[in-house]
């Protein structure tokens, strides 16, 4: 998506350790017009798939998920991140490894809000190694929900997580696909 790629080139900052900072517009300060455009595009790609719920993870996926859900006319739902292994029987849960913080954590979603009658579109701001997306997919599988696919704002394709999940059968649509990125040469899109 050209609009998003242009914005990444203009305002994104490449950090060591393969981290792209986009917190001036995507996941800290929010450019809601841009988020609306990205949300509109993701919703359009999954139009007609019968999505009943847009699922993301707190906190950085929530803003985009809201715009996608607005355009699909269904609720947005975010998995909470829990540090305890004391998980109640009232939740679906899955383990994930945090790309940005380096720790393991548990994602939980109340059984009240996700079940076998749902068709889920998973949304997130970034896709790197695929741990977060895989955990969200696993939660859907545990809930017996169908999964229409995943809509991602920025996929760092060279890190491989997206292709592993595509090979495993998940439809993944990414709005900006980064082929390579480093602090000296900057960002190159696919
Ligand atoms: P993965 O689980 O695919 O390795 O990483 C995806 C998650 O890590 C996303 O939910 C996102 O919050 C975070 N993440 C991964 N790479 C980046 C990055 O380059 N920049 C930012 N801001 N977050 C990232």
Task: Tell me what the mean pLDDT of segment 156-164 comes to.
Answer: 98
- Residue-level pLDDT at 171: 98
Q: What tokens does 61 get? A: 């996926």
> Ligand 1: distance of its center to the CA of 102 in Å?
11
The domains found in the chain, sorted by start residue, are: 2-189 (3.40.50.2020)
| pLDDT value of residue 190 | 96
104 CA distance to ligand 1 middle (Å): 14
Residue 125 pLDDT > 70: yes
Q: Going by C-beta distance under 8 Å and a sequence separation of 6 or more, which residues neighbour residue 90? A: 110, 111, 112
146 C-alpha to ligand 1 centroid (Å) = 24
For the chain, give the percent of residues with pLDDT over 70.
97
More confident residue, 26 or 87: 26
Q: Mean pLDDT for the chain? A: 96
**Complete DSSP assignment for 123-190:** EEEEESSSHHHHHHHHHHHHHT-EEEEEEEEEEEGGG-HHHHHHHTT--EEEEEEEEEEETTTEEEE-
Segment 94-110 shows an average pLDDT of: 94
Pocket residues: Cβ below 6 A from ligand 1: 19-22, 27, 57, 60, 99-100, 124-133, 161
pLDDT at 89: 80
Q: Is the pLDDT of residue 86 over 90?
A: no
Q: What pLDDT does 55 receive? A: 98
pLDDT at 83: 67
* For the CA of 135, the nearest atom of ligand 1: 2
């Amino acid at each position: 998506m050209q609009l998003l790629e242009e914005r990444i080139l203009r305002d994104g900052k490449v950090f060591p350790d393969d981290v792209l900072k986009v917190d001036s517009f995507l996941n800290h300060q929010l450019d809601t017009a841009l988020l609306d455009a990205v949300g509109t595009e993701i919703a359009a790609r999954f139009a007609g798939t019968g999505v009943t719920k847009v699922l993301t993870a707190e906190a950085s996926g929530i803003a985009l998920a809201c715009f996608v859900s607005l355009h699909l006319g269904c609720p947005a739902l975010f998995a909470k991140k829990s540090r305890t292994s004391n998980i109640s029987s009232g939740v679906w849960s899955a383990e994930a490894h945090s790309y940005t913080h380096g720790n393991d954590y548990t994602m939980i979603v109340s059984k009240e809000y996700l079940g076998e009658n749902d068709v889920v579109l998973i949304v997130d701001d970034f896709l790197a190694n695929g741990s977060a997306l895989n955990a969200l997919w696993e939660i859907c599988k545990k809930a017996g929900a169908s999964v229409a696919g995943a809509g991602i704002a920025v996929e760092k394709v060279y890190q491989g997580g997206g292709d592993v999940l595509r090979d495993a059968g998940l439809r993944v649509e990414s709005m900006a696909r980064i082929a390579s990125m480093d602090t000296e040469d900057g960002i190159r899109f696919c």
